[in-house]
Amino acid sequence: MKADQTSRVFRLDGGGVTYALGVDDKGYLQPLYWGTSLAPADPLVSTDVTKTGEPVLAKAPGELSGFDPAGSVTLQEFPGQGEGLVSEPGIKTIFADGNRDLVLKYRSHRVEGETLIVELADIRRPLTVTLRYTIDPETGVLARSAAVRNGDRRPVRVDQIAAAVFTLPVGDDYRLHYLTGRHAAEWTKKDVSITPALTVLESRRGSTGHGNNPFFAIGREGLTTEEHGPVWYGALGWSGSFRISVGQDNLGRVRVAGGFNSYDFSWSLKPGETLETPVFYAGYSADGWGAASRTFHRFEVAHVVPGGIAAKLRPVLYNSWEATAFDVTATGQEALAEKAARIGVERFVVDDGWFGARNSDKAGLGDWTVNPAKFPNGLKPLIDKVHALKMDFGLWVEPEMVNVDSDLYRKHPDWVLNYTGRPRTEGRNQLVLNLARTEVRDHLLAVLDRLVSENDIAFLKWDYNRNWTEAGWPEAPVRDQQRVYVQYVRNLYYILSELRRRHPKLEIEACSGGGGRVDLGIIGLTDEVWTSDNTDPADRLMIQDGFTQAYPVAVMMAWVTDSPNWANTRTTSLDYRFLSSMQGGLGIGANLDKWQAEDFTTAAKWVAAYKTIRQTVQRGQLYRIDPPSGDNASSATMYVAADRRQGVMFQMLHSSMWRDNPAAQHPRGLDAARVYAVRVLGGGALPEGVPAQASGAYWMERGLRAPLKGDYVGTAFVFDAID
């Protein structure tokens, strides 16, 4: 990080990226540059222009017209809602006397280690905003956040605040790529032109939601492809209601702002109080969508995922839900554990139905004690059995929810989100506990701590199966009740972090009806995420492709479940289901009680094969050779180890037409000068004409054609370097 004290220009460099900002002649903090790394002596210029069209150093423009006063056209790094601003603000406030004008100018800066801290202040009122910047030296990914402090003697109401505002130069060829969907259809890729009509990605649900993920990627039409061209991208580290807006301002500059959702939100900032935003992570790539996602994955694994690059690989997991649903018994689970161990499973997880009066989804949530009728001697005999079978033990929980038919609700009906005298709308027969309340937070932490302490539990599947309604907090003062959107998530993070601190070996999966709460906030406190409840292997290829635009394979769980699949009744082979699921963290959720002998043989083969490529799949570089899509009959995905000594290419055929065979697919990411031996994953002969070994250059240039025919078939080739 470089700061020019004379001109007050600040420059952050890392991973081939330069991000620069500077103070103009009127004291505004302006963005100057964000893109491919500049030489140390290169001048840093504003993205503003003079009336003659010439670029200028950080300088405030004058009035453009009577309709565009200086305040509306001055480019600001973090603008307050004031002085005629008509684009998205970084922050909007109302002072105690009703004043809504907020003009922020540079006050000071300092550098703490690798972090640049810039303080802005209103031109009249004692209100300050502190901006924090760090840049990762390996990837060039920025981490930005903001904090507003009220230095007045009276409260100030904050109605909107972003974690960061990003600016791209004037242009009419930008396209926004984002991820959207719904339950069981998450991670759908969309793209739209960026215009003055604002595009808003948001959740008003209290959690991240299935609808829009807090991630964006921006390329340039005709320039940006999978392998080439500029990409600006980012993701908000927040698991609650969020808002990311993307659009052109009144001079055609592209602006991205993201943070807490202003919908139904306000924060009465008390005298001397500070409100901090979550972190907004963002990066730049000059080499297309693929390089952007690979770079972001490296950053996320190294700096967001717990344990970083030293974190454990995801074990092969079995989950009992499809086998038993709520009909959970000690003997039934022990029988499933024996079957799971036969195929090489490493973690056995008992899903819903083990606790309280939980015989359906209508009762028991909130009562986290073992059901004595189902487990007369508690969980210990089952856990001991699982350990004897060389597996560790996991358990499903949904701590944030409660059934009306539960001991907890009967004792504390006031502990749920509610408005006094209004309906309490149930979803999946449950209500949402108000984690913003300290006593609720402490109760849940104590219950979970006791559960893990009294049982040898290695893993919790943490579920969250509905959105918010009646988001009231009647016990709080009226001016503070809308803090619930922030305080709830902060207390969720507190529970997760404290539980991990007390139980360092405990691993947690984040789940919300599948991918309904996946973001860099929850990923930073859990070890894996459940990608979607839709486990159909063909749908899942597209779901996984969308997921990995933003988030790493290292945390993405993918299960082999029963066929026909519940989501669409599609029938697929067990081989195809494994080949789809082996492209993430492999799990098995099928009803093993219905499997035949040949199914166990097939599964054992694939589990053993997966363990030979697990490191490469979970921690390697992902290349989208032929991305899956609804109108594409085939797809191909490549994973290459960090040291490039192993690569795995999956080729999947969704449906055959006529007598055609799929085209050759060309591996990517191999070391051109190395010699690689190739084999078929899971055993079997190589296709005719494919040599047993050749250089990386040969494989990438010539490609491999798998002679696939039929519907929903696939294969995978493994490339192992020869010393």
Q: Tell me the residue type at 20.
A: A
Q: Say if residue 559 is exposed, middle or buried (CB neighbours under 10 Å; 0-12, 13-18, 19+).
A: buried
Terminal Cα-to-Cα distance of the chain (whole angstroms): 41
Q: Which two tokens stand for residue 40?
A: 């140390």
Of the residues 48, 136, 367, 463, which is catalytic? 463
- Tokens 């999947």 map to which residue? 652
DSSP state of 681: T
Residue from 360, 448, 358 nearest 400 by CA = 448
Residues recorded for the chain: 723
Task: Give 653's Cβ-side CA count (13 Å radius).
Answer: 19
Q: Which two tokens stand for residue 60?
A: 């405030």
Verify whether residue 463 is a known catalytic residue: yes
Contact criterion met (CB below 8 Å) for 393 and 458: yes
Contact criterion met (CB below 8 Å) for 161 and 280: no
Please tell me the chain's helix, strand, coil percentages from 3-state DSSP, rounded to the nearest 5: 20, 30, 45
Q: How far is CA 583 from the centre of its chain?
A: 18
Q: Say if residue 352 is exposed, middle or buried (CB neighbours under 10 Å; 0-12, 13-18, 19+).
A: buried
Verify whether residue 287 is a known catalytic residue: no
Q: Give the three-state DSSP class for 492.
A: helix
Q: How far apart are CA 256 and CA 178, in angstroms?
A: 13
Q: Say if residue 13 is exposed, middle or buried (CB neighbours under 10 Å; 0-12, 13-18, 19+).
A: middle
Check whether the bond before 564 is cis (ω within 30° of 0): yes
Q: How far apart are CA 521 and CA 163, in angstroms?
A: 13
Residues 414-421: contacts with CB under 8 Å, at least 24 apart: 414/475, 415/439, 415/440, 417/468, 417/469, 417/470, 417/471, 417/472, 417/473, 417/484, 418/470, 418/472, 418/474, 419/470, 419/472, 419/474, 420/472, 420/474
Q: Give the three-state DSSP class for 453.
A: helix
Q: Tell me the residue type at 637.
A: T
Edge to edge, the sheet with strand 646-653 lists: 621-626, 634-640, 646-653, 713-721, 675-680, 693-695
Q: How far apart are CA 65 and CA 84, in angstroms?
A: 13
Residue from 304, 293, 349 nearest 555 by CA = 304
Residues 367-374: contacts with CB under 8 Å, at least 24 apart: 367/406, 367/407, 367/408, 368/397, 368/399, 368/447, 368/448, 368/451, 371/328, 374/328, 374/329, 374/330
Q: How far apart are CA 617 and CA 611, in angstroms?
A: 10
Of the residues 367, 533, 545, 626, which is catalytic? 533
Q: Which residues are catalytic?
A: 463, 533
